[in-house]
Structure 1
Amino acid sequence: MAAAGDGPWLDEAAGRLVRPFTISNGRTRPTHAFDLMSQVMATGVTPLGHPVPEHALALDLCRAPISVAEVAAHLKLPAAVTKVLLSDLVDCGALTTKPPEFHHNRTDRALLEAVLDGLRRQL
């Protein structure tokens, strides 16, 4: 029996019923270079063909800008599989993407060191 909200791909006792790479037809390399922080957003174009259910779920998540990492987390799929699915949607015009903002601005080393110090204090 599937856990509530997990759909037919997950089973409470057995776990995932379908291997993640089955969803992407065994493909492991996306056609677009996504960073985990890349933003994706639905364009309103309906994908042609016979998309897997995860394509529809991803499109639903992408009604507003969302990161690739967030889509992977919501779909409960590895990032590599999610990137392939999102690439399919970009290829057919159903999604648009842009790199994360910090690619254009160097991260302040002092800020990173302050975050690291804070994390160390928590441990």
Structure 2
Amino acid sequence: MNARGDRWFDREAGPVVRPYAMTRGRTRPRGETFDLIAVVEATGERPGDRLRYSPEHVRILRRCAEPVSVVDLASEIGLPLGVIRVLLGDLRDQGLVALAAIEPVGDRPNKGVLREVLNGLRAL
């Protein structure tokens, strides 16, 4: 409280933790960053020392039990995308999450079809 007796937090909002505190001041993961549409999933490895993982790490790891895109993960967990990327990097470094291999849904259109579409667009 300050001299006037005002409070700096809202009881309904709960405790506030700044994003840089969750990432220990880091703004990027070590190694490659994660694209928005990259799909991650848990590898099934057991986390070793539970004391070094934050509650956010645990929430991310639980959600990654099934493949999920990075952007969906950020939305569902409710953390900024940059924080999710750094925490995913931590989990990846420990071998707990990995990029999921995505199989193509269908056949790609052949070059002839794409060329016709491109020519049609140019004609507009």
What TM-score does the superposition give when structure 1 sets the normalisation length?
Answer: 0.66
Deviations 1:76-113 (A, max 9, x none): 111001000000011100001158789xx8xx8x7xxx
Cα pair 1:24 1:81 within 8 Å, conserved: yes
Deviations 1:14-64 (A, max 9, x none): 466111221111110112221011000001112334110111100110011
Cα pair 1:38 1:99 within 8 Å, conserved: no
Residue matched to 1:30: 29
1:20–1:80 Cα change, 3 Å: same
Residue matched to 1:116: none
Instruction: Give the aligned residue type for 1:79.
Output: L
- The offset of 1:75, in angstroms, is 1.5
Q: Which runs of 5+ in 2 are unaligned?
A: 1-9, 109-113, 118-124
Residue matched to 1:121: none
Secondary structure at 2:12 match in 1: coil
1:100–1:72 Cα change, 3 Å: farther
- 1:52 matched to 2:54? The reply is yes
Secondary structure at 1:28 match in 2: coil
Q: Which runs of 5+ in 1 are unaligned?
A: 1-10, 111-123
Instruction: Give the aligned residue type for 2:44.
Output: G
**Whole-Å separation in 1 of the counterparts to 2:15 and 2:73:** 18
- The offset of 1:13, in angstroms, is 3.1
RMSD across aligned positions (CA):
2.6
What TM-score does the superposition give when structure 2 sets the normalisation length?
Answer: 0.66
